[in-house]
Amino acid sequence: MKGIVLAGGSGTRMQPLTLATSKQLLPVYDKPMIYYPLATLMLAGVRDILVISTPASLPDIQRLFGDGSRLGLSLSYRAQAEPRGIADAYILGASHVEGERSALILGDNFFHGSGFRSLLQRGWEILDGCTLFSYPVTDPERYAVCELDEHGNLVAIEEKPARPLSKNAVTGLYFYDSDVTEIARFLQPSERGELEITDINQTYLKEGRAKVIELGRGFTWLDTGTHQSLLEASEYVRMLENRQGVRVACIEEIALRINLIDADACYRLGAEMSNSEYGKYVMSIAGALA
């Protein structure tokens, strides 16, 4: 399986915060935003990941993660010169995917919930084209929206509809089979000049090969691409971490728990940040699981 984190875009909705840094490097409480989608791909079992970002932001992201080997991952990088839509990730990442199944996640998407790893595994198990993940929202007109029949089967997808068919937003996490790069190759830009991921999803739907997993009660999904949602995500993480004493999207802990690295390697990663509470937590986890 291959993975792609699409961390592009100019971040204009987040200005002036993004005038001097990438949106995906803004803090969501105690860690950069991009930690959260990376953690999701790790939980989904993906080890070989392409990070796509702007030419200006890519060096900083690469400096943050390197080649990923310290986390037991293989990370590569590619520049997106200008925003061309989410589906452009499969144009730029065609050689990375190389005919394999893949997961694409947006760099500003935040997921959390008990049993999330099991749901991700379920997403791979039912994959026969594409697997989408939906979440109920109060403002569905802002998102791609999916409609399900009485049996939970996906029957329609609309992109930012004026009159939504449902309140089930399609989140920024997508699982695809090996056909996705070929589908993306023949896409035409939409009226706003972008290659739309919804067009890919609708192609699979027309072929009867699109499924959806609903993230209901007990799960949280946030698009942290606005000042308000960034604050909400930070408050959510702060509350959980302070009350439960665990870290959300701690990539070093995840790497240790799913056996990508051993306790000694995890401890060394924490020791490099030993002046921070985050680093101390990583060291304590490594000690407890040694």
Residue-wise pLDDT for 92-107, tens only, equals 999 999 889 999 999 9
**Which residues neighbour 76 within 8 Å (Cβ) at sequence distance 6 or greater?**
49, 50, 51, 67, 96
What pLDDT shows up at residue 153?
A: 86
Assign 25 a pLDDT band (cuts: 50, 70, 90). very high
pTM of the model: 0.96
- Axis-axis angle for helices 277-288, 263-271 (nearest 10): 160
Assign 226 a pLDDT band (cuts: 50, 70, 90). confident
Residue-wise pLDDT for 32-61, tens only, equals 999 999 999 999 999 999 999 999 999 999
Assign 289 a pLDDT band (cuts: 50, 70, 90). confident
Assign 10 a pLDDT band (cuts: 50, 70, 90). low
Assign 191 a pLDDT band (cuts: 50, 70, 90). confident
Backbone angles phi, psi at 220, to 5 degrees: -125, 130
Q: What is the mean pLDDT of the chain?
A: 94
What pLDDT shows up at residue 131?
A: 98
For 250-264, what is the mean pLDDT?
98
Cα distance between residue 47 and residue 266, in whole Å: 17
Assign 9 a pLDDT band (cuts: 50, 70, 90). confident
Q: Are 222 and 232 in contact (CB under 8 A)?
A: yes
Residue-wise pLDDT for 267-281, tens only, equals 999 999 999 999 999
